[in-house]
Amino acid sequence: MLQSPPVPRPPEKPRWTGQPIVLVGLMGAGKSTVGRRLAARLGLAFVDADHEIEHAAGMTISDIFAKFGEAHFRDGERRVIQRLIDGRAKVIATGGGAFVNDETRALILSDALAIWLDAPVEVLVDRVGRRDTRPLLRGRDPAQVLRDLAAVRNPLYAQAHLRVASGNAPHDITVRAIMKAIGK
């Protein structure tokens, strides 16, 4: 008698179990703004990894890039994120390139709940155009830079435990989507 093969079960949706929540995604996706609001909703501390890097280095990210280069910055970024992921529940916003680093990505995936805030390039261009503090955009066409970054980084961001759309809507909608995705 022939038996039909077992129907594969879809993978279980990750649930938040109190580990640090790490927001990843391209610049302008809303990681800091959404992160602050998510932390408030969950009653947790919020940490912006970029601010922690600046504090540890005693200089701005733009100055670190200009003086030491991106490789030096990424190494410091990895060390700061490693320190922040200490097992205690909190919400951490990372810089857009943090999850691209193999070691940083492996650490986040093993010791935290990674959530990719995925936004269309058009939304990102509008958001990043409000400030001139992004070293990767200086003197370049933001739309082209973001399209190029998305082509390289989105497949890596897709490895995050959860993906939440971050569109042209109030950030509280994104926060509610994250709350639903983590079972809260």
Spatial strand order of the sheet with 45-48 comes to 45-48, 90-93, 21-24, 113-118, 162-165
| 3-class DSSP assignment, residue 160 | coil
pLDDT tens-digit readout, 35-54: 999 999 999 999 999 999 99
Angle between helices 142-157 and 121-128 (to 10 degrees): 120
Q: Which residues are annotated as a binding site for ATP?
A: 28-33, 134
Computed over every residue of the chain, the mean pLDDT equals 89
Tell me how far apart the alpha carbons of residues 181 and 152 are, in angstroms, rounded to a whole number: 25
pLDDT at 134: 65
pLDDT tens, position by position, 12-30 = 566 788 999 999 999 999 9
Which residue positions form the known binding site?
28-33, 50, 74, 96, 134, 153
- Alpha-helical regions (H) of 31-141: 31-42, 49-57, 61-68, 70-84, 102-111, 121-128
pLDDT digits (tens, 9 = 90+) for 74-111: 899 999 999 999 999 999 999 999 999 999 999 999 99
The pLDDT value recorded for residue 10 is: 45
| Binding-site annotation: residue ranges for Mg(2+) | 32
CA distances from 118 to 69, 115, 128, 139 (A): 27, 9, 15, 25
Top-confidence residue, 31 or 126: 31
Is the CB of residue 82 less than 8 Å from the CB of residue 128? no
- pLDDT score, position 22: 98
- Give percent above pLDDT 90 in the chain: 71
Total Cβ atoms within 10 A of residue 81: 27
pLDDT in tens, 117-169: 999 999 999 888 666 666 666 777 888 999 999 999 999 999 999 999 998 88
70-84 and 61-68 are packed helices; what angle lies between their axes, rounded to 10 degrees?
130
Residue boundaries of the structural domains of the chain: 21-181
On the question of pLDDT at 3 being above 80, the answer is: no
Mean pLDDT of 172-183: 95
Q: Which CATH architecture has domain 21-181?
A: 3-Layer(aba) Sandwich (3.40)
β-bridge pairing 113-118 and 21-24: parallel
Annotated binding site for substrate: 50, 74, 96, 153
- Whether the per-residue pLDDT at 2 is higher than 60: the answer is no
